[in-house]
Amino acid sequence: MIDIYSTERLKNFLPKIKSFVEDELLPIENHLLTTSFYELSPLLEEKRKIAKQLGIWAPYLPEREGGSGLSLTEFAQVSEVLAWTLYGHYCLNCQAPDVGNIELLSDHGTEEQKEKYLKPLINGDIRSCFSMTEPENAGSNPVILDTKAEKSEDNYIINGRKWFTTGADGASFAIVMAVTDPDAGNYQKASMIIVPTDNPGFKRVRNTPIMGEPGEGHDSHSEIKYDNCKVPVENIIGKEGEGFYLAQQRLGPGRVHHCMRWIGTAERALDMMCQRASSRSLGGDTLLAHKQTVQNWIAESRASIDACRLMVLNTAHMLETVGSKNARNEISAIKFYVANMLQEVLDRAIQVHGAYGLTDDCILSHWYRHERAARIYDGPDEVHKSSLARQILKNYGVNKK
């Protein structure tokens, strides 16, 4: 906890989160690592009940909606701790993509949508997914979309192919991004529409296997075919053409969420590095911890994790004080900066663990594989760097070419 970003509420709340992670999750980490989602589900449901009893459920929500009313800056610090192991966010109902969908429906849903979709989602009774990325189109340029939603009387008929629809397996509904007006400007042509997954036009083609894991339930990334998928016009979120605008709204807090999760994960990896270094003998009384190369890695990791945490908290604070538009550069910067730090720290932690670090007994192997995505999803590094630079260069009179 950085003194300057601390609050009374947080001083009270954070220890509960640490206890939850340390008492309920860390002791069973190996089981969580080696068991599939559906097999784990009953156990995870128990943990979720405990979280509700402890009053730490969905802490980002206002108290009236069952949360703890944490500010973004406060929640970020909670999120870091939840990321020390697997399922921390899931147990508190803070997992992507549901948390993003909750924010979206909360801010832009109709009363009917809230009643039907938001309430059970907040309560953890159902899961949801977000269907945007398309296999044929570069994620780095999100305005290129082939999926179309054509209005026909009181319905939208949706056709298209999506993939990397995280958590679609077992979700109750998807929010799909589809072109509603192909002739509109780049940023006005798409809309977000709710599609219940039991709709006959919603076809889950497969869970795409990622980095050696088939994926299942919440832990899956599905390919979806929207095949003349008919949904009533009331299923639109916000107005027609607002798809990118709404997506933009998700982005700032979404990136703070991701980044703080990565920081928690990096912090745990550093802790594991130190644990390993201090216990692994190299013969005689020499420990791995006595090796200068290992010391370099520990020091460099300590410094860069701390740098990243300060950047993310500063960005969260700016989002809350000067707004997302004025924090635009900071939001771009943390995305690539923190993702790269994470990859470096994980790589060092694995090297310190040697062969053991490669095995599926070790959470580092899990993270090494799954967090490689951090530099790709939500805009690859390259896009964020160019976008940040162009924003800066505008002040020097340079226009995009």
Q: Select 152 or 386, whichever has its Cβ closest to a second copy.
A: 386
Binders of a second copy in range 11-50 (CB under 8 A): 34
Q: Is the peptide bond before 97 cis (omega within 30 degrees of 0)?
A: yes
Find the part of the chain contacting a second copy (CB under 8 A) among 8-16, 174-182, 236-244, 305-313.
Answer: 305-313
CB 174 within 8 A of CB 224: yes
Find the part of the chain contacting a second copy (CB under 8 A) among 75-83, 177-185, 259-267, 299-307.
Answer: 299-307
CB 255 within 8 A of CB 334: yes
Find the part of the chain contacting a second copy (CB under 8 A) among 38-46, 123-131, 260-268, 300-308.
Answer: 300-308
Q: Going by C-beta distance under 8 Å and a sequence separation of 6 or more, which residues neighbour residue 195?
A: 131, 158, 173, 174, 175, 176, 201, 202, 226, 229, 231, 235
For residue 232, give the amino acid letter.
P
DSSP codes, 265-287? HHHHHHHHHHHHHHH-B-STT-B
Binders of a second copy in range 342-361 (CB under 8 A): 350-351, 354-361
Find the part of the chain contacting a second copy (CB under 8 A) among 120-128, 131-139, 148-156, 242-250.
Answer: 131-139
Q: Select 184 or 307, whichever has its Cβ closest to a second copy.
A: 307
Residue 337 within binding range of a second copy, rule CB under 8 A = yes
The half-sphere exposure of 352 on its side-chain side, counting CA atoms within 13 A, is 32
Residue 183 within binding range of a second copy, rule CB under 8 A = no
Binders of a second copy in range 201-220 (CB under 8 A): 208-213
Residue that the structure tokens 């889950």 belong to: 204
Site for a second copy (CB under 8 A): which residue of 60, 75, 163, 226? 163
DSSP codes, 203-264? EEEEE--BTTB---GGG-EEEEEEEEEEEEGGGEESSTT-HHHHHHHHHHHHHHHHHHHHHH
User: Residue 395, exposed/middle/buried by CB under 10 A (0-12, 13-18, 19+)?
Assistant: exposed
Q: Select 184 or 211, whichever has its Cβ closest to a second copy.
A: 211
Residue 255 within binding range of a second copy, rule CB under 8 A = no
Residue 1 within binding range of a second copy, rule CB under 8 A = no
Least separation in angstroms between CB 306 and a second copy:
6
Find the part of the chain contacting a second copy (CB under 8 A) among 39-47, 108-116, 141-149, 152-160.
Answer: 141-149
Binders of a second copy in range 46-105 (CB under 8 A): none
Site for a second copy (CB under 8 A): which residue of 89, 336, 342, 367? 336
Q: Select 218 or 384, whichever has its Cβ closest to a second copy.
A: 384
Q: Going by C-beta distance under 8 Å and a sequence separation of 6 or more, which residues neighbour residue 258?
A: 96, 335, 338, 374, 378
Secondary structure class of 188 (helix, strand, coil):
coil
Q: Select 93 or 304, whichever has its Cβ closest to a second copy.
A: 304
Which has the closest alpha carbon to 172: 232, 121, 105?
121
Find the part of the chain contacting a second copy (CB under 8 A) among 88-96, 114-122, 236-244, 301-309.
Answer: 301-309
Number of residues that bind a second copy (CB under 8 A): 99
Residue 306 within binding range of a second copy, rule CB under 8 A = yes
Q: Select 57 or 336, whichever has its Cβ closest to a second copy.
A: 336
Instruction: State the distance between the two ends of the chain, measured CA to CA, in whole angstroms.
Output: 43
Binders of a second copy in range 308-327 (CB under 8 A): 308, 310-311, 314, 317-318, 321-322
CB 44 within 8 A of CB 87: yes
Binders of a second copy in range 257-296 (CB under 8 A): 274-275, 277-278, 280-283, 285-296
Q: Select 65 or 381, whichever has its Cβ closest to a second copy.
A: 381
Secondary structure class of 159 (helix, strand, coil):
strand
